[in-house]
Amino acid sequence: MTVLVVGSLALDSVQTPFGQVDDVLGGAASYFSLAASTFTDVQLVGVIGADFPEQHLDLLGTRPIDLNGLQRIPNGKTFRWAGRYDYDLNVAHTLDTQLNVFAEFDPQLPDEYRSSEYVYLANILPSLQLNVLSQIRAPKFVGLDSMNFWIGNPDTKKDLTRVIERVTAVFMNDAEIRQYTGTYHLLQAARQILSIGPRVVLIKKGEHGAMAVSREGVFVIAAYPLEEVKDPTGAGDSFAGGVMGHLAETGDISWDGIRRAMAYGSVVASFTVEDFSVRRLVSLTRSELRDRLALLRQVTEFQTDLLPAS
Amino acid sequence: MTVLVVGSLALDSVQTPFGQVDDVLGGAASYFSLAASTFTDVQLVGVIGADFPEQHLDLLGTRPIDLNGLQRIPNGKTFRWAGRYDYDLNVAHTLDTQLNVFAEFDPQLPDEYRSSEYVYLANILPSLQLNVLSQIRAPKFVGLDSMNFWIGNPDTKKDLTRVIERVTAVFMNDAEIRQYTGTYHLLQAARQILSIGPRVVLIKKGEHGAMAVSREGVFVIAAYPLEEVKDPTGAGDSFAGGVMGHLAETGDISWDGIRRAMAYGSVVASFTVEDFSVRRLVSLTRSELRDRLALLRQVTEFQTDLLPAS
pTM: 0.93
Which B residues 109-148 touch A at CB under 8 Å?
none
Percent of chain A with pLDDT over 70: 98
Q: Under 8 Å CB-to-CB from B77, ≥6 apart: which residues? A: B49, B50, B51, B98, B100, B101
- Host H or E run for residue A296: helix A286-300
Interval A150-177: pLDDT, tens: 999 999 999 999 999 999 999 999 999 9
Size of interface A-B (CB pairs under 8 A): 115
Label residue B116 by pLDDT band (50, 70, 90): very high
Residue B70 and residue B98 in contact, taking contact as beta carbons nearer than 8 Å: no
- Best of A304, A305, A310 to disrupt the B interface by mutation (most B CBs within 10 Å)? A304
- Give me the pLDDT at residue B307, please: 66
- Between A90 and B43, the higher pLDDT residue: B43
Mean local confidence (pLDDT), A68-88: 94
Read off the pLDDT band of B228 (50, 70, 90).
confident
CA distance B33 to A141: 49
Task: Calculate how close chain A gets to B157, using CA atoms only, in Å.
Answer: 23
Q: Which residues in chain B have their CB less than 8 angstroms from residue A294's CB?
A: 304
On the question of pLDDT at B305 being above 70, the answer is: no
Instruction: Give the mean pLDDT of chain A.
Output: 95
Tell which residue, B132, B206, B138, B126, has the closest CA to residue B170: B126
Smallest Cβ–Cβ distance between B309 and the set A286, A294, A306 belongs to A286
Q: What is the DSSP letter of B208?
A: G
- In the sheet with A92-98, reading across from the earlier edge strand, the strands are A19-26, A10-16, A80-85, A92-98
Q: What is the pLDDT of residues B141-180, one digit of tens each?
A: 999 999 999 999 999 999 999 999 999 999 999 999 999 9
Task: Report chain A's terminal Cα–Cα distance, integer Å.
Answer: 52
Query: What's the gap in Å between the CA of B73 and the closest CA on chain A?
Result: 36
Interval B20-36 mean pLDDT: 97
Query: φ and ψ at A178, to 5 degrees?
Result: -65, -40
Handedness of CA A51, A52, A55, A58 (dihedral sign): negative
The CA-to-CA distance between both ends of chain B, in Å, stands at: 52
Quick: pLDDT tens for A251-266. 999 999 999 999 999 9
pLDDT at position B88 = 81
Nearest to A299 among B186, B219, B264 (CB): B219
Q: How far apart are CA B299 and CA B268, in angstroms?
A: 16
With bands split at pLDDT 50, 70 and 90, how would you rate the model's confidence at B233?
very high
Residue B309 pLDDT: 59
Q: Tell me what percent of the residues of chain B surpass a pLDDT of 90.
A: 93
Whether pLDDT at A307 is above 90: no
Q: Which residue on chain A is closest to B293 by alpha carbon?
A: A304
Does any CB of chain A come closer than 8 Å to the CB of residue B293?
yes
Query: Per-residue pLDDT averaged across A295-307, rounded?
Result: 84
Give the pLDDT confidence score for residue B12 in this predicted structure: 97
A170 three-state secondary structure: strand
Which of B90, B184, B301 has the highest number of chain A CBs within 10 A, making it the mutation to test binding with A?
A: B301
Whether the predicted pLDDT of B310 surpasses 60:
no
pLDDT in tens, A222-242: 999 998 899 999 999 999 999
The pLDDT assigned to A191 comes to: 98
Q: Which residues make Cβ contacts (< 8 Å) with residue B200, sequence separation at least 6? A: B168, B169, B170, B194, B212, B213, B214, B255, B258
Q: According to the model, what pLDDT value does residue B306 have?
A: 62
Which residues, in sequence order, are CB contacts of B116 under 8 Å at separation 6+?
B2, B3, B4, B43, B136, B139
Question: What is the average pLDDT value for chain B, to the nearest integer?
Answer: 95
> What confidence tens digit (pLDDT) does each residue in B189-218 have?
999 999 999 999 999 999 999 999 999 999
Partner B, chain A 197-216, Cβ-Cβ below 8 Å: 205, 208-209, 211
Q: How confident is the model at residue A309 (pLDDT cuts 50, 70, 90)?
A: low
- Residues A125-135 have a mean pLDDT of 97
Q: What angle do CA B225, B257, B215 make, to 5 degrees?
A: 100
What count of Cα atoms within 13 Å lies in the side-chain half-sphere of residue A153?
A: 11
The whole-number pLDDT of residue A89 equals 84
Q: Where are the alpha helices (DSSP H) in B196-284?
A: 235-250, 255-272, 279-282
Residue B218: strand pairing partners: B213
**A window 88-107, beta carbon within 8 A of B:** 88
> How long a stretch of residues is chain B?
310
